[in-house]
A = this chain, B = another copy of it.
Amino acid sequence: MTIAGPHDSPVQSGQPPRWERRKERRPAELLAAALARFVEHGYAGTRLDDIAASAGVSKGTLYLYFPNKEELFKALVRESVVPLLERFSDRLASSDETGPVLIEQFVNTWWLEFGSTRLAGLCKLIMAEAGNFPEVARFFHDEVIQPNNALVAGLIRRGIERGEFRQVDVEATAHVLISPLVLKAIWAHSFERSGIQAESIDPQRMLATHIQLIQAALLPPNR
């Protein structure tokens, strides 16, 4: 994450540059604190006081970096989205593995790098606030969900073209493929956070099954 302050303070000569970096990191720290709070309590349910406290600064400091709560929220989404975008595309697009292997890689990588991180809460958050912040929802959809779907669709389409997968509705299949990942990630930030883990299934176990099922489902009717 590369969130920089609005001003780059001129480094005093002789000063150890390490301390300057602290100031540059402030906004990112604030956004991290905000993400955690927003995910847990929702937008309206989160007080700026809480965000400030959990970031270890005073309430007023937030206003040095963000003009108001709404902009803080939007910045949060914007900045959090950037790293998501760069994660998979390159890696998977240029891989020369076979379709089934690519699917396995995608599922595992997605979970590892997104589903299991606190960023997954972002997805829940945005869905919950879509009614209040349509532009944010659109932004997230256009920048994250749509590309992600396209990526998966690409994998499947490539597999079909190569004869590794049977003919299916590519877009619909992409949705089906992604759904268990997304839902499990969201789940982790709602029910499972609230101590409801009894019957909850271990993600690895579910993902392994999911991979097997989807691979079997896509097997071409060869022979």
Residues of A within 8 A of B (CB): 39-45, 124-132, 134, 137-138, 141, 145-146, 149, 168-169, 171-173, 175-176, 179-180, 182-184, 186-187, 189-191, 193-196, 199, 201, 205-206, 208-210, 212-214, 216-219
Contact = CB atoms under 8 A, between A and B. Distances in A.
Nearest to A196: B141
A130 B168 CA distance: 37
For this chain, the copies found in one complex come to: 4
- Residue in A128, A129, A146 with the greatest tally of chain B CB atoms within 10 Å: A128
Contact of A190 (B131, B179, B190, B214): B131
- What are the 6 A-B residue pairs with the smallest beta carbon separation, nearest first? A128-B128, A44-B44, A172-B209, A130-B190, A217-B217, A127-B190
A128 B190 contact: yes
Contact of A206 (B176, B195, B196, B212): B176
A145 B131 CA distance: 24
Contact of A40 (B131, B179, B186, B194): B131
A59 B34 CA distance: 29
A31 to B, nearest CB: 19
Nearest to A211: B176
